[in-house]
Each structure stands twice: as structure tokens, then as C-alpha cells.
Amino acid sequence: MSLGPVMVDVEGLELTPAERERLRHPLVGGVILFARNYESPEQVTALVDAIHRLREPQLLVAVDQEGGRVQRFRAGFSTLPAGAVLGTLYDENSRRARRMAETCGWLMAVELRAVGVDFSFAPVLDLNRGVSSVIGDRAFHANPEAVAELAHAYMTGMAHAGMAATGKHFPGHGAVAADSHLSLPIDDRRYADIQVEDLVPFERLIHFGLAAIMPAHVLYPRVDRQPAGFSRFWLQQVLRQELGFQGVIFSDDLSMAGAEGAGGMLDRARAALAAGCDMALVCNDPAGADQVLDGLGAYDNPVSHLRLMRMHGRHPVTRTQIAADGDYQDAVRMVKSIA
């Protein structure tokens, strides 16, 4: 059985019989965890292990563990700084900031790998323009070159811990005030303006081997009439052809208000996959997830399957092992000093 093109979530701290059945559906390829799925490192390790034991190859298990406001697992995990903290350090001492970004990426990733999670949807590659409240301090910096440098260091740290990186939110969510969780943001800039600013971090990280990208639920009407996550122009012409990206494209959560224009949940999933996404995320809507799984029909994309397989976590490690590691102890102290 291959990895399917749909990522779903689960309700609580353990899998229910209905969830086990859903996760065995051949169209499911991954599970995203939230704060409601976390009680302790021991509990989440058991949950992830139960998910991994359901299928072969194992389902991907992901989480949003950026740091700052967006950190799903907290008690028992290191408190991670928001990206903008690293941006402030960059303005003071760029070399130290890059070293700290690499340490943060490694610490985030090794703690997740120690409980079995395959990857975090990180780093954020949006620009902190002081416009978007939903992005805000999640972004490293306003300067695209600074974002690229810090994100590259962060990605390098993740890789050393055995985790693939996912850059988001392509082609850039930082220039709009609206929150795509609540409405469809509209960015009226020309393509040329987006290209010389917001696309720079994506282009740089693609060059350095970025494994995955998540597009934004943002409409750029002077470029295309579809939001980026449903746009063949953005995903295939720009991302695949012009930027040469060969990794995974994950849709952002299709239950967000920014995706509603594509129709019902099944229509949204079909549109995202047709535009070029390798995996469609359906979160916080079990009925919607079942509609997608029941209605999507036969789906077989060997190229997507190979891309998704590369998202499995590497370098398995236990919490006992990392706790005894001097490098881990040093990283905890370093990150605590800024977080």
C-alpha cells in the first residue's frame, strides 16, 4: 500500500476504533497532531507509535511546532522562540543568529523525533512586514535575504536531527492583513513585486534542497484568479518549472475559510490535487475527511508517492538518549537563553 494524498487529524489522546478504520483507508497518507492530542511525551509517543503501526509504509505524522505562538507540544518540551526573536538577533550579530537558528531547528526536530513524529511544518518563509497579524512574529524578518539565511540555518539543524523541512506559506502571506483561517486574503501586488521580495526565501531554500512547501490560502488577483493553493500557475508554472522545485507540496488546511471558494470539502481536495498539491490537509472536520475519502475515487500518483516517502523521519532516537547527550543539554541552555 502506498501513501495516499490526504492528511487528516484525530480527536484526542488515543485512537478511537473509527479513527483506526479511517487511517487504514488507502487514500490517507498522513496524520497531523494538535495541542488537543498532547498530554505528555509518554502519551504522545504511544499515540504516534499506534498510528505508525497501522500501515506499511507507515503513515506520516506531522505537527506545527514552529515556536512562539505556534507550538503544539509544550509541557515536557523545550520552549522555542518565535522566528522574529532570531530576526532581532540577526540585526545584532548575523553570525550568532544563524548559529542560534540552526540550534533551534535541531532542538525542535530532535525532541519531536524522540517521540516518533516525522516532521514539523516549519520553517515559516513569509516576510514580517508588520501587516499580517496571523504571521507577525512567526516570520524571521522583513528582509528576504535575512529570512533566507536564518531559514537555511534552521533547515540545516532539522536535517541533522533527521527531519525534512517544509517552507510556508508560498508565495508569501506577509503582505495581507486578513487571516486566511477566517477569510480569503487578497494581495493586489504584481508578480514582479512578489518575485523580487517574497519569492526570494523560497528560491534560496529550494536551491539548498528544501523537501516540502505549503502554499498560502491567499488570492493574488493581478497574477491568477485562483488562490495559490488551488493555482496551477503558482504551483506548476512558478514553483515546479521556474523555481525547479521537486519536493512535496502540501495544501494548507482545506477547512480554513480561505479555501471555501473552491466549494465543498471534496471539491477543495480535488482542486488542490489537480493544481499540483501532493497531499491535501483536511483538519478539524471528520465528516469532511470522510467525504473526501469516500468521493475522491481511485488515485495513483507514483511521483507524489516517492516525494512523500522522503518525509519520513530519520535517525530514530529516544528521550532517554537525548537527555544524556551533552549537545542536547547545551542546545537546551542556548535556546532557553533567548526564548
4-22 per-position pLDDT tens digit: 999 999 999 999 999 999 9
Q: What is the pLDDT of residue 127?
A: 98
Instruction: Please determine, for residue 1, whether its predicted confidence score (pLDDT) is greater than 80.
Output: no
Per-residue pLDDT, averaged over 209-225, amounts to 97
Q: What is the pLDDT of residue 210?
A: 98
- The full DSSP string for 83-94 is HHHHHHHHHH-H
Domain boundaries, the chain: 6-338
Taking each helix axis as running N to C, give the angle between helix 94-113 and helix 326-338, from 0 to 180 degrees, rounded to the nearest 10: 120
Q: What is the pLDDT of residue 48?
A: 98
| Banded model confidence at residue 295, pLDDT cuts 50, 70, 90 | very high
Q: What is the pLDDT of residues 232-275, one digit of tens each?
A: 999 999 999 999 999 999 999 999 888 989 899 999 999 999 99
Q: What is the pLDDT of residue 154?
A: 98
Give the active site residue among 49, 91, 181, 327: 181
Q: What is the pLDDT of residue 179?
A: 82
Rounded to the nearest 10°, the torsion over CA 289, 291, 294, 300 is: -60
Pair 241, 276: CB distance under 8 Å: no
| Banded model confidence at residue 339, pLDDT cuts 50, 70, 90 | confident
Q: Is 252 a catalytic residue?
A: yes
Q: What is the pLDDT of residue 251?
A: 98
Closest CA to 289 of 314, 319, 264: 264
Give the active site residue among 252, 253, 278, 312: 252
Strands 60-63 and 6-9 turn out to be unpaired
What is the assigned CATH class of domain 6-338?
Answer: alpha beta
Mean pLDDT of the chain: 96
Q: Is 9 a catalytic residue?
A: no
